[in-house]
Structure 1
Amino acid sequence: MQIRNTAARYGWLAIVVHWVVAVAVLGLFALGFWMVDLTYYDDWYRRAPDIHRSIGVLLFALMLLRLLWRFLARAPDPVPTHKRWETLSAHAAHGLLYVLVFVALVSGYLISTADGSSVSVFGWFDVPSLTGRIQGLEDTAGLVHYWSTWALIGLVAVHAAGALKHHFVDRDETLRRMLSPARKDK
Structure 2
Amino acid sequence: MKSDPASNIGNITRVAAGDDRTVYDNFAVFLHWLTVLLVLSQFALALTWEWFARPTRHLMIVAHMSFGIILAAVIVVRLVWRLLPGHQVAPAVSGWVEMASKAVHYLLYAMLAAEAVLGFMLRWSGDESMSFFGLLIAPPFAPFSKPAHHLVGELHELNGWAIIILAAGHAAAALYHHYVLRDRVLSRMLPPLREG
With normalisation by structure 2, the TM-score equals 0.81
With a CA cutoff of 8 Å and minimum separation of 6, indicate the structure with the bigger relative contact order: 1
Structure 1 residue 83 displacement after superposition? 4.0
Structure 1 residue 178 displacement after superposition? 0.3
2:30 equivalent in structure 1:
16
Between the aligned partners of 1:129 and 1:6, the Cα distance in structure 2 is 48
1:133 equivalent in structure 2:
143
2:48 equivalent in structure 1:
34
More helix by share: 2
2:10 equivalent in structure 1:
none
CA deviation vs aligned residue, 1:105-133 (integer Å, no higher than 9, x gap): 1111111122343322113x433323332
Between the aligned partners of 1:126 and 1:104, the Cα distance in structure 2 is 19
Structure 1 residue 78 displacement after superposition? 1.2
* 2:82 corresponds to which of 70, 90, 94: 70
Larger Rg: 2
Between the aligned partners of 1:126 and 1:111, the Cα distance in structure 2 is 15
**Unaligned segments of structure 1, at least 5 residues:** 182-186
Structure 1 residue 6 displacement after superposition? 5.3
CA RMSD in angstroms comes to: 2.3
With normalisation by structure 1, the TM-score equals 0.85
Alignment of 1:1-186 (within 5 A): 7-35=21-49, 37-38=50-51, 41-73=53-85, 74-79=87-92, 82-123=93-134, 125-136=135-146, 137-181=148-192
**Unaligned segments of structure 2, at least 5 residues:** 1-13
* Between 162-171 and 105-114, the greater mean CA deviation after superposition: 105-114
Between the aligned partners of 2:20 and 2:42, the Cα distance in structure 1 is 31
Between the aligned partners of 2:155 and 2:20, the Cα distance in structure 1 is 37
1:99–1:180: structure 2 CA closer, same or farther, 3 Å change rule? same
Aligned pair count? 175
Q: Identity, % of aligned pairs?
A: 31
